[in-house]
Copies of this chain bind each other. A is one copy, B any other.
Amino acid sequence: MAKIIDLPRNEAGIEAALAELGPRFGTRFNTGQALRAQHGHTTTWLRNQAPDAVIFVHSTEEVQEIVRACSRHRVPVIAFGAGSSLEGHLNASAGGISIDFSQMNRILKVNAEDMDVVIEPGVTRKALNSHLRDTGLFFPVDPGADATLGGMAATGASGTNAVRYGTMKENILGLKAVLPSGEVIKTAARARKTSAGYDLTHLMVGSEGTLGLITELTLRLRGIPAAISAATCSFETVEAACQCVIATIQYGLPVARIELVDALMVGAVNRYAKLNLPETPLLLLEFHGTETGVSEDAATFGEIAAEFGGTGFAATTREEERNKLWQARHDAYWAGLALRPGAKGISTDICVPVSRLAEALTRAEARAAELNMIAPVVGHVGDGNFHVLMLIDTDNPAEIELAEAYVAWLNEMAIEMEGTCTGEHGIGQGKAAYLVRELGPEAMDVMATIKRGIDPQNIFNPGKMGLPNYG
């Protein structure tokens, strides 16, 4: 297993906090082994570090109450949404209390005229969009998992349609957060834009629960498009597919999604879903707009793709056929896992400037093959972000070691290409070692200064993001 550090536990403080909060929260306070382990994490290859208790909260005031008790006793507090973090964000490195926000999931106000919505952090993106259906509006950020929006904000999540609609960073107008002191801040007014003071909204978004616990979010919404078209096209090489992506975006085609599935993954899908796609890199696109607009866009893409040797171009606006065209992408995760039954799928997350994408992808595939790793790839290629799904026997230390070396090599390559080790999964524990390589010690010092200033006792999610372990 990957090496992660157990930080010193404040046993007396933890005992006191549990004694205080247990009676207060009754059945919403839990110390059962299974629930605690599940709140450490379940989605990574990192060793589990379970919290000492899990509390299901219902209001900002309850969060404040827990934080004040934990501050008094110097006990760690870790925010938990849906548990879909991929980098060990939820592990309790020094023990402490996991605050589970899943029951704090009210949609407080839909402001349809303003195209925004005010929600509690435990609302999941699917629940939100299902609630919004009749308004003609939707929330666009889609990381795949049905994560909570609080968790998505805390990790700066994105997904397949960031190329059109942006990431969580571009889609949060403001938020409320409980600080380590127990105080609540509001980061921004509900106006569509603002130049009022330091941008505390963006400071909290992506801070992974280390600075504040998000208890309310105001999100930007978009109009549900009148029509959606899907298009797919196969390419001889990753290079040709990437050149086609660059040309498509430079042309100004308003793609809503542009995904790449690599040859290995196409083969996996063929076997998994009994399809018959050419086992070469496949691009999948979606356009959002008017019926005629999206049909034209798809056709224009077909012409661009042909210039780069694209074959088997297909496009449609009908929902059933769209789903069929996109099946290779929808089935990718499970089809990938089926390449090696019993193995665990561990995802990398580098993001590079699009001009370097072909090279990055080609080298990533070649290196995995050299190491005899089975590692299919899917990519949000419009943004330069792709995931290598490493299929690993996590009971085999030699394989873990090999995979870790691969991840290190991959992240270094991304950084050399002026890219990042994480496009959308965050740093957590898993990538802490790479952040300083990417941004340098001076930037890390600024982060540490902010962390110390806002959380002088280091009680909010300690041991994450490569921040110092003080307190």
- Partner-B contacts on A (CB < 8 A): 111-116, 136, 155-158, 162, 166-167, 169-170, 179, 183-203, 205-207, 211, 223, 225-226, 246, 249-252, 289, 293, 349, 351-355, 383-385, 414-415, 418-427, 431, 435, 438-440, 442-447, 449-450, 452-454, 465-466
Please name all residues of chain B whose beta carbon is closer than 8 Å to the beta carbon of A418 when the two chains form the complex: 189-191
* Contacts A/B (CB < 8 Å), 13 sampled: A111-B355, A186-B442, A190-B419, A191-B419, A192-B351, A193-B351, A193-B424, A196-B422, A198-B203, A198-B446, A198-B450, A198-B465, A452-B453
Closest B-chain residue to A168, C-beta based? B195
Q: Is the CB of B252 within 8 A of A185?
A: no
Question: B453, A449: Cβ atoms under 8 Å?
Answer: yes
Residues of B within 8 Å of A190, CB to CB, are 353, 418-419
- In the complex, A223 Cα to B247 Cα: how many Å? 11
Q: Say yes or no: B155 contacts A191, CB within 8 Å.
A: no
Determine the residue in chain B with the shortest Cβ distance to A449.
Answer: B453
Q: Is the CB of B384 within 8 A of A192?
A: yes
User: In the complex, A155→B446 CA distance in Å?
Assistant: 20
Of the candidates A155, A198, A201, the one having the most CB atoms from chain B within 10 angstroms of its own CB is A198
Question: Do B440 and A191 touch (CB < 8 A)?
Answer: no
Q: Across the interface, which residues of B come within 8 angstroms of A439, CB to CB? A: 185-189, 196-197, 200
**Cβ contact within 8 Å between B423 and A352:** no
Shortest Cβ distance from residue A89 to the other chain B in the assembled complex, whole angstroms: 11
Top 6 nearest A-B pairs (CB, nearest first) are A202-B202, A113-B355, A190-B418, A223-B252, A156-B195, A449-B453
Residues of chain B lying within 8 A (CB to CB) of residue A443: 185-187, 197, 200
Given contact pairs A185-B440, A191-B353, enumerate 20 new A-B contacts (beta carbons under 8 Å): A116-B353, A179-B446, A184-B442, A185-B439, A185-B442, A185-B443, A191-B384, A191-B385, A192-B353, A193-B423, A194-B422, A195-B420, A196-B421, A197-B439, A198-B446, A202-B202, A202-B203, A223-B250, A226-B252, A446-B454
Do A198 and B114 touch (CB < 8 A)? no
Residues in B whose Cβ lies below 8 Å from that of A442:
179, 183-186
Beta-carbon contact of A167 and B193 below 8 Å:
yes
CB neighbours of A205 from chain B (8 A) = 199
Is the CB–CB distance between B353 and A111 below 8 Å?
yes
Q: Which residues of B contact A353 (CB under 8 A)?
A: 111, 113-114, 116, 190-192
Query: Judging by beta carbons under 8 Å apart, are A427 and B384 in contact?
Result: no
Q: Report Cα–Cα, A188/B194, bound state, in Å.
A: 22
Nearest Cβ in chain B — how far from A283, in angstroms?
Answer: 17
CB contacts (< 8 Å) of A179 on chain B: these are: 442, 446
| Cα A440 to Cα B446 with chains together (Å) | 25
